[in-house]
């Protein structure tokens, strides 16, 4: 379990051990808001773990601010940290049989856009202290997730690794933990009434991680455990390729 918060990770590990009876559950510290932390994590993982079958890119936040590297926090955590993590682990995934990468997207990608000039100049895809500003930045980061999956599938053709992006539904999580008090006051009562619980929200992720026979659907976007068509911006080959190349430069891969 690659997690930023050790206390929460250890609580989850205790639950897993209790429910499964397995003691083979390991915590490793990972902060996707720091590219150096991502590199340190992957270096440790590759030294200590001989096998990788499944990578679930699950972290996400709605917030304003900057990462340790100066990127807008939503772009930096929701996309760029996952991008670097995946790229550094791809070779280990390819060494196995039938590896998978599952990236948590969102239907919010539909309202996103990517201004590459602003990204390269300002190192973010939107910022601001008002809720509509960082929600728009969140939508932009979710479009990055969907396009990353689209391009990754192309680059994995001919290998034994497949990839999928997922809209889990609107789930009661701590996604809004970095919002202001009054924003949480508005969001959380609605979440308690209308949003999915975490077990229900995990089902499409689990489907893409575990379901046999979906390999021909590599690169697709899933919702409610079924592939869904994406709007044109979510499968734009040229934009997906450019995002990959820009992400390589920004993350220091090239």
**Active-site positions?**
138
Q: How far apart are CA 44 and CA 34, in angstroms?
A: 15
Report long-range pairs for 96-99 (Cβ below 8 Å, ≥24 apart). Answer: 96/51, 96/52, 96/53, 96/160, 97/160, 98/53, 98/160, 98/161, 98/162, 98/215, 99/52, 99/53, 99/54, 99/55, 99/160, 99/161, 99/162
Q: How many residues does the chain have?
A: 254
Pairing of strands 28-29, 221-223: unpaired
Secondary structure string (H, E, C) spanning 74-136: HHHHHHHHHHHHHHHHHHHHHHCCCCEEEEECCHHHHHCCCCHHHHHHHCCCCCCCCHHHHHH
Q: How far apart are CA 220 and CA 227, in angstroms?
A: 6
Q: How far apart are CA 239 and CA 230, in angstroms?
A: 15
């Amino acid at each position: 379990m690659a997690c930023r918060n050790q206390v929460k990770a250890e609580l989850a590990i205790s639950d897993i051990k209790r429910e499964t009876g397995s003691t083979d559950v390991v915590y490793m510290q990972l902060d996707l808001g720091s590219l150096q932390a991502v590199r340190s994590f992957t270096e440790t993982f590759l030294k200590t773990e001989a096998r990788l079958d499944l990578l679930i890119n699950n972290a996400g936040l709605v917030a304003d601010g900057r990462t340790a590297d100066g990127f807008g926090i939503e772009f930096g955590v929701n996309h760029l940290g996952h991008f670097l993590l995946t790229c550094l682990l791809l070779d280990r995934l390819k060494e196995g049989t039938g590896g998978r990468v599952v990236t948590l997207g969102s239907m919010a990608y539909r309202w996103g856009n990517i201004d590459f000039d602003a990204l390269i100049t300002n190192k973010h895809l939107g910022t601001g202290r008002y809720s509509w500003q960082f929600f728009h930045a969140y939508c932009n980061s979710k479009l990055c997730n969907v396009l990353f999956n689209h391009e990754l599938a192309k680059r994995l053709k001919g290998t034994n690794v497949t990839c999928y992006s997922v809209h889990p539904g609107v789930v009661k999580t701590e996604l809004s933990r970095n919002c202001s008090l009054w924003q949480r006051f508005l969001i959380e009562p609605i979440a308690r009434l209308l949003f999915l619980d975490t077990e229900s929200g995990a089902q499409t992720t689990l489907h893409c991680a575990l379901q046999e026979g979906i390999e021909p659907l590599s690169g697709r976007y899933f919702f409610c455990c079924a592939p869904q068509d994406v709007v044109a911006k979510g499968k734009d080959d040229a934009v997906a390729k450019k995002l990959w190349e820009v992400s390589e430069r920004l993350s220091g891969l090239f």
